[in-house]
Amino acid sequence: MILRIAFQDGDGNIGLNSYEVGNGMYTGKYRYNLYAHVFDKISDTVYTPIIVPTDTGSFEDLVYAYTIPIMSTAIGAQIKGTFDIEIDSASVQNLQSSRGSKNGILQFQIYMYDRNLNKSNTVVTPDLSIR
């Protein structure tokens, strides 16, 4: 599954370069700058996060994390465009089945951080069917 995200940034400070990522300049939740949280539709108006086991035996929300590269080198320049993120729909479908989900409907909540660590608005997808 490919999700195409349209964006607009007033000062053009979106993205991280490989040096910053590789040398730990951005750590913790800023290690990646784009996050897609996955929700399972339970009823007409209720969505619940898909939960997955961790290596330590605990559980956490299923979140896809990505590093968006630098989009512009011009300081202060407005930029807009689109980028695609790939979601492994087969693994999500398997998780839904193991949880007893009957309808196979997902919703994604997606946001990103800019280079100043400002969080963007959250984009919520319409219901998406995984069959």
Mean pLDDT by 10 residues, the chain (131 residues): 88 84 81 91 88 85 88 79 84 65 82 91 89 65
Please give the pLDDT value at position 25. 81
Please give the pLDDT value at position 105. 85
Please give the pLDDT value at position 102. 62
Q: Closest by alpha carbon to 128, among 89, 95, 98, 97?
A: 89
Backbone φ, ψ for residue 90 (5° rounding) = -65, -45
Q: Closest by alpha carbon to 115, among 5, 4, 11?
A: 11
Please give the pLDDT value at position 121. 93
CA distance 121 to 113: 10
* Residues forming a β-bridge with 58: none
Please give the pLDDT value at position 96. 62
pTM assigned to the model: 0.84
Q: Domain coordinates of the chain in residue numbers?
A: 2-129
